Structure 1
Amino acid sequence: MKGLRIFQTIQSKIITIYILLILMAMQLIGIYFVRTMERSFIDNFAYSLKGQADVLAGFAEPYLAENQSAASSAEGKKSYAELNGIVNNLFNINDAEIQIIDANGIVLTTSAQAKTGLIGQKNIQAEVVSALQGIKDIESETIDNNGQRRKVVAQPIGDGAKVLGAVYIVASMESLYGTMNRINKIFLSGTGIALTLTVFLGVILAHTITNPIKAITRQATAMAEGNFNQLVSVKGQDEIGQLGNAFNHMTNRLKEALSLNEEEREKLASVLSNMNDGVIATNDQGVIIVVNRQAKQMLQLGNEDITERSISEVLGIAEEKIGHYVQNEHQTATIQIGGEEEGDFITLRVVFTPIHRRDKGITGTIAMLHDVTEQEQLEDARREFVANVSHELRTPLTTMKSYLEALDDGAIEDPALAHRFVGVMRNETERMIRLVNDLLHLSRLDSRNALISKVPTNIPDMLEEVADRFSFQLHQKAISIEIDAGADIQSVMLDRDQIDQVLDNLVSNAIKYTPEGGAIALRATLTEKAWLEIAVQDNGIGIPRKDLTRIFDRFYRVDKARSRNMGGTGLGLSIAREIVKAHGGTIALDSELNQGTRVTFALPVQQMEGEPA
């Protein structure tokens, strides 16, 4: 098969076709020419021999007629000698034998010196017999013992019905065939020259056809590799030129189409990469073909390549359920992904949308991932908040109702008992008022309607005033308090009333959860980054580590029964956090069970000092 590779190119095929066509034409022409020339030469040769036979018959007729008359034998012999001279001198044909035969078939004379022994013998050749019967223009071809081809011509001598004899000529045709062979060689040489010129011209002509095709092929290969900057050189307006123009036009159109496609793909990639939602696209087999960065982050896959993986495996949803979501109107599913910490989950809402293609039905699926963790947490917080508020209000209201029913049942008649019941109801009412006030305060902080009025505030004086406000409670539980304010801290811009509320909540909690004889410390420091840090530390009962993450949640209590009995609403730390955040600061709590608690909040000093008083 390797030998046939040369026929796999258009150029070789064109050259081969030209050679075959020329060769076939030359062969047909050669066969016709040779056959015609051969027939013509043979016919001319035979015609020449017949003509000579006719002339010789005319010369020999008087001799034969005289020989058959009553003339003397001496005169007859004389006539045959003259006839022999005529045959040998006038009608001598190269490489030929001429015989004069009488009516009885006896050879009278011959031009072949080697066959003079035939004179007087009878010639019984078929041509001679036919000629003696009066048949004219007899000819045939024979091959002698030496393999030479000879032409035999026999012509009767005499006129009319009386045949006096015959002229018998046997001439060699080798010279004629030699001439024909030379002509054939010349013809073959011409054919070879013609074929050589045909190959040369075929190569040139094939180049004019194949070179543009090769150029188009190279351009097509370059296009397949992504190079659209080259164009085919068009040198004419023939079919190949028109093909080149069409190919160049197609190249430009394809370049524009790919450029637009690339722009659209970049836009799509930019949109996908900057979307807040995750996007996953699959084929009709459910295998992921496109995924954006946000989807990987939501699924906590990092930089892992999840293409070529099943969407069922990645989302953890059975293929049957995914097919159900895609095929039906209810196309939304909710999944949970484990968070970095134990017990922490990310909730994702997945919306499945089928990809339809004309005449092919569904060819893929797009899954949109929405992080609804915060929404779920807010919803849970809302439900928990409503439940907590309801519980906080229901407890005092239930107490008040029971005491009112007791008073209505006759306890009002007992002044001491009635006074005690009224005191309990007053305490519960004040507790509800504090709860409602705290809720309103939180609502204003959440809606950012609470005004922050910053004024120059002396930090040491502010801490001393906080200690004075709680001096009675401190004295009751024999709790010592230490105030430590750096010498470099004097006047700072802040909302005095709001920060006082923060300190009151923190100191109040410290007093509540510090046993008798304990200690509380208030410290204020100025950091290198110009932040004011105020810390409230106690050596009380502390907070379990498992509760630290939720200690700032609203209505969250470590010991719910004890906190409620102490009159707390569960909103103090939440209000403190919101006030600090409104000042642009941060708050943190660190505690060890039975070791004490430290609450630290930091406020940006530079920002406040730049504001007007």
Structure 2
Amino acid sequence: MKRTRFFHTIQVKLIIIYVLLILIAMQLIGVYFISTTKNSLTRSFSDNLNDQVNMLTVLVEDTLTSERAEAGEAADAEVAEDLGNLVSSLFNISQAEIQVLDASGRVLATSEPDRRDIIGRKNTTLAVSRALQGIRDNEEEIIDADNVRKKVIARPAFDTSRGQSRVIGVVYVVASMEDLYATMRGINRIFVTGMLIALGLTGVLGVLLAHTITNPIKGLTRQATAVAEGRFDEQVPVYGDDEIGRLSEAFNYMTGRLQEALSANEEEKEKLASILANMSDGVVAADENGQVIVTNRRAREMLGVKHALGKPMDELLGIPKDQLHKLQTGVEHSTIVVRPLPDDGGEWLMHVTLTPIYRRDRTISGAIAVLHDVTEQEQLERSRREFVANVSHELRTPLTTIKSYVEALDDGALEEPELAKRFVGVIRGESNRMIRLVNDLLHLSRLDSNQERLRPIEVNVREMLEEVSDRFSFQMKQKGIGGSVLIEDGIETAWFDRDQIDQVLDNLMSNAIKYTQDGGHIEIAARKPTPDTVSISVKDNGMGIPEKDQARIFERFYRVDKARSRNMGGTGLGLSIAREIIKAHGGTIELESELNRGTTVTFTLPLRRGGDAE
């Protein structure tokens, strides 16, 4: 069953929808509330600041229009002092920087004690310039170098004492709005905290609410999965008499009826499956379209596939469609199909018998193919034919030679002593060759039938290998072949049939000498691959064996170069006999070769009789 991802479940969707609704509602409320609060605080701040500026403007007008402002330098100093007291008092209330300017824009007083140096200088800001022109509405918000938002107001002071209205100064106020925005940030934090708490509570309530809806649905889903998997013993819990409760009751009723219907069907299927599974032959059934609908385990093994359902029968069996049609219609009854084994392990021969499946109206609804493995039978028959052919060929050649030379002697060669002697020598050689062949065949026959008794004795490995080297030393000297015997430390004695192992070594040495060029080298070595075994190898640097022939080199009568092997006196049975002798001792033999580089034949035997450890 496909698993539902977490964020695709109904429960999560309900929770998300519920939380989103609350979030949107709170966002709308929050935006309205914060915006209204900000506007109210800003308006209150501006109104308060304007009231103070208006009050200061009236006081400044009175001070600047008084008689002291016209009485010379001493009066100017007194006016400046009075203005300084005014702005200092207002600063303590408003937390603002206040400057009083004269009609030329020159600073007369400032509320900042550490900025007394600006007194006497001109303030050239745009707001001041507008105020000096008599414009009353000069308000703006700025952000200073310290990233602090400030409110700027420049209010002109008029002289109306002489029946005329002229600008005699300016009140310039720069008030920080940091406290206002700090208050707004605090309100925002309170609102966000409240919103998060509300969302958390909403999420918990959403989980509880969604659980009451999705829990019955999950029960139905589990039961549907169980039914699909063939488990009918579970029941969906019924939580109430609502729509979901009635659905659960109907589902439980359907499960019971379905179980009854499937039980009868399963019994029939089990009978058929048991029959098919225990058949020694493969069975493949296809529908009327040729698509496979049933196979048994044996058929899949023979066809080398894991899954065959839905595949065309002709492709699965490897039978052409026209021939498959003949088999289905009864024109042909059976055929032989050749299937390659995996890893180039040879061929698998199957005898395929096809029978059509008829409906009640006698129309064909499909076909059943029965596959019978005849590989071993065919291999035995092929081996028998090859063996008879090989033995006949090996015997016919010397017999033909003997007959030819006997006829030559009978025709008069017997009267010539030298010629007769040479002919008799050839006849003797061919006779000995036939005797060796017959002896090898008898030896193989005894090994195959376990009639060749082994007589294991304790053998000194070094002594045995040195004797083998000595036996062939004369032949090696004739071809100028060097030899060496290598014995690994720790190898002293081993239990085996000395005569049989000598025969194996003689055969391997004979082959090495035959196929090693003059001036080559042959090495006999003994090693201990494990504490309980000994490996003996014969290695040459001769012509080697092609890779394609190495897999068959131990077969009977198999020769890489048949003509040359026969001329060298070989029967083609030496390596086969060697393999059977080693198998009889419970060992293994293997060959490694590279063309024109040499060949190494290694056989491994137990050190002790019966494989006992030292």
Normalized against structure 2, the TM-score is what? 0.55
- 1:451 partner SS: coil
**Residue in structure 1 matching 2:538, options 514, 536, 540:** 536
Q: Does 1:506 align with 2:474?
A: no
Other-structure match for 1:489? 491
Other-structure match for 1:569? 571
- 2:419 partner SS: helix
Other-structure match for 2:472? 470
User: Cα deviations across residues 300-353 of structure 1 (Å, max 9, x unaligned)?
Assistant: 33x3x3312220122232334223223438522112234446795433321223
Q: Does 1:279 align with 2:286?
A: no
Q: Which amino acid aligns with 1:267?
A: S
Q: State the alpha-carbon separation in 1 of the partners of residues 227 and 479 from structure 2.
A: 90
User: Cα deviations across residues 49-79 of structure 1 (Å, max 9, x unaligned)?
Assistant: xxxxxxxxxxxxxxxxxxxxxxxxxxxxxxx
User: Cα deviations across residues 64-104 of structure 1 (Å, max 9, x unaligned)?
Assistant: xxxxxxxxxxxxxxxxxxxxxxxxxxxxxxxxxxxxxxxxx
1:230–1:599 Cα change, 3 Å: closer
**Residue in structure 2 matching 1:260, options 264, 267, 271:** 267
Moved more, 494-503 or 277-286: 277-286
1:492–1:409 Cα change, 3 Å: same
Other-structure match for 1:184? none
1:611–1:402 Cα change, 3 Å: farther
1:381–1:262 Cα change, 3 Å: closer
Q: Does 1:295 align with 2:302?
A: no
Other-structure match for 1:78? none
1:605–1:391 Cα change, 3 Å: same
Q: State the alpha-carbon separation in 1 of the partners of residues 510 and 292 from structure 2.
A: 58
Q: State the alpha-carbon separation in 1 of the partners of residues 449 and 364 from structure 2.
A: 47
Other-structure match for 1:309? 311
Q: Residues 283 and 363 of structure 1 are in contact (CA less than 8 Å); yes or no, is this contact kept in structure 2? A: yes
1:589–1:228 Cα change, 3 Å: closer
Q: State the alpha-carbon separation in 2 of the partners of residues 541 and 406 from structure 1.
A: 38
Displacement, 1:458?
1.8
1:354–1:496 Cα change, 3 Å: farther
Q: Residues 228 and 255 of structure 1 are in contact (CA less than 8 Å); yes or no, is this contact kept in structure 2? A: no
Q: Residues 492 and 609 of structure 1 are in contact (CA less than 8 Å); yes or no, is this contact kept in structure 2? A: no
Q: State the alpha-carbon separation in 2 of the partners of residues 224 and 527 from structure 1.
A: 57
User: Cα deviations across residues 229-249 of structure 1 (Å, max 9, x unaligned)?
Assistant: 699xxxxxxxxxxxxxxx9x9
Q: State the alpha-carbon separation in 1 of the partners of residues 520 and 565 from structure 2.
A: 19
1:547–1:250 Cα change, 3 Å: closer
Q: State the alpha-carbon separation in 1 of the partners of residues 577 and 410 from structure 2.
A: 39
- 1:475 partner SS: helix
Q: State the alpha-carbon separation in 2 of the partners of residues 481 and 226 from structure 1.
A: 74
Q: State the alpha-carbon separation in 2 of the partners of residues 423 and 344 from structure 1.
A: 45
Moved more, 534-543 or 310-319: 310-319
1:548–1:230 Cα change, 3 Å: closer
Q: Residues 583 and 603 of structure 1 are in contact (CA less than 8 Å); yes or no, is this contact kept in structure 2? A: yes
Q: Which amino acid aligns with 1:602?
A: T
Q: Does 1:583 align with 2:585?
A: yes
Q: How many residues align?
A: 374
- 1:306 partner SS: coil
Q: State the alpha-carbon separation in 2 of the partners of residues 496 and 510 from structure 1.
A: 21
Q: Residues 276 and 283 of structure 2 are in contact (CA less than 8 Å); yes or no, is this contact kept in structure 1? A: no
- 1:290 partner SS: strand
Other-structure match for 1:424? 426
Q: State the alpha-carbon separation in 2 of the partners of residues 326 and 566 from structure 1.
A: 56
1:320–1:419 Cα change, 3 Å: same
Q: State the alpha-carbon separation in 2 of the partners of residues 329 and 452 from structure 1.
A: 57
Q: State the alpha-carbon separation in 1 of the partners of residues 538 and 478 from structure 2.
A: 20
1:263–1:373 Cα change, 3 Å: closer
- 1:550 partner SS: coil
Displacement, 1:605?
3.3
**Residue in structure 2 matching 1:375, options 370, 374, 377:** 377
Q: Residues 540 and 599 of structure 2 are in contact (CA less than 8 Å); yes or no, is this contact kept in structure 1? A: yes
- 2:308 partner SS: coil
Other-structure match for 1:549? 551
Q: Which amino acid aligns with 1:310?
A: P
Other-structure match for 2:446? 444
Q: State the alpha-carbon separation in 2 of the partners of residues 326 and 470 from structure 1.
A: 67
Q: Which amino acid aligns with 2:584?
A: A
Q: Residues 492 and 608 of structure 1 are in contact (CA less than 8 Å); yes or no, is this contact kept in structure 2? A: no
Displacement, 1:390?
1.3
Other-structure match for 2:129? none
Map 1:293-372; keep pairs closer than 5 Å. Answer: 293-301=297-305, 303=306, 305-328=307-330, 330-340=332-342, 344-356=346-358, 360=362, 362-372=364-374
1:409–1:560 Cα change, 3 Å: same
Q: Residues 521 and 541 of structure 2 are in contact (CA less than 8 Å); yes or no, is this contact kept in structure 1? A: yes
Map 1:445-460; keep pairs closer than 5 Å. Answer: 445-460=447-462
Q: Which amino acid aligns with 1:280?
A: V
Q: Which amino acid aligns with 2:576?
A: S
1:416–1:592 Cα change, 3 Å: same
Map 1:112-131; keep pairs closer than 5 Å. Answer: none
1:361–1:531 Cα change, 3 Å: farther
Q: Residues 457 and 496 of structure 2 are in contact (CA less than 8 Å); yes or no, is this contact kept in structure 1? A: yes
Displacement, 1:473?
1.6
Q: State the alpha-carbon separation in 1 of the partners of residues 269 and 304 from structure 2.
A: 30
Displacement, 1:394?
0.9
Other-structure match for 1:177? none
Displacement, 1:535?
0.5
Displacement, 1:299?
2.8
1:296–1:585 Cα change, 3 Å: same
Q: Which amino acid aligns with 1:525?
A: R
Q: State the alpha-carbon separation in 2 of the partners of residues 224 and 448 from structure 1.
A: 59
Q: Which runs of 5+ in 2 are unaligned?
A: 1-225, 236-253
Q: Which amino acid aligns with 2:493?
A: S
Q: Which runs of 5+ in 1 are unaligned?
A: 1-221, 232-246
Q: State the alpha-carbon separation in 2 of the partners of residues 473 and 224 from structure 1.
A: 80
Q: Which amino acid aligns with 1:332?
A: S
User: Cα deviations across residues 156-197 of structure 1 (Å, max 9, x unaligned)?
Assistant: xxxxxxxxxxxxxxxxxxxxxxxxxxxxxxxxxxxxxxxxxx
Displacement, 1:537?
0.4
Q: Residues 532 and 611 of structure 2 are in contact (CA less than 8 Å); yes or no, is this contact kept in structure 1? A: no
Q: Residues 456 and 609 of structure 2 are in contact (CA less than 8 Å); yes or no, is this contact kept in structure 1? A: no
Q: Which amino acid aligns with 1:283?
A: D
Q: State the alpha-carbon separation in 1 of the partners of residues 529 and 327 from structure 2.
A: 57
Q: Does 1:391 align with 2:393?
A: yes
1:329–1:449 Cα change, 3 Å: farther
Other-structure match for 1:188? none
Q: Which amino acid aligns with 1:585?
A: G
Other-structure match for 2:190? none
Displacement, 1:284?
3.3
Q: Residues 494 and 608 of structure 1 are in contact (CA less than 8 Å); yes or no, is this contact kept in structure 2? A: no
Other-structure match for 2:122? none
Displacement, 1:568?
0.6
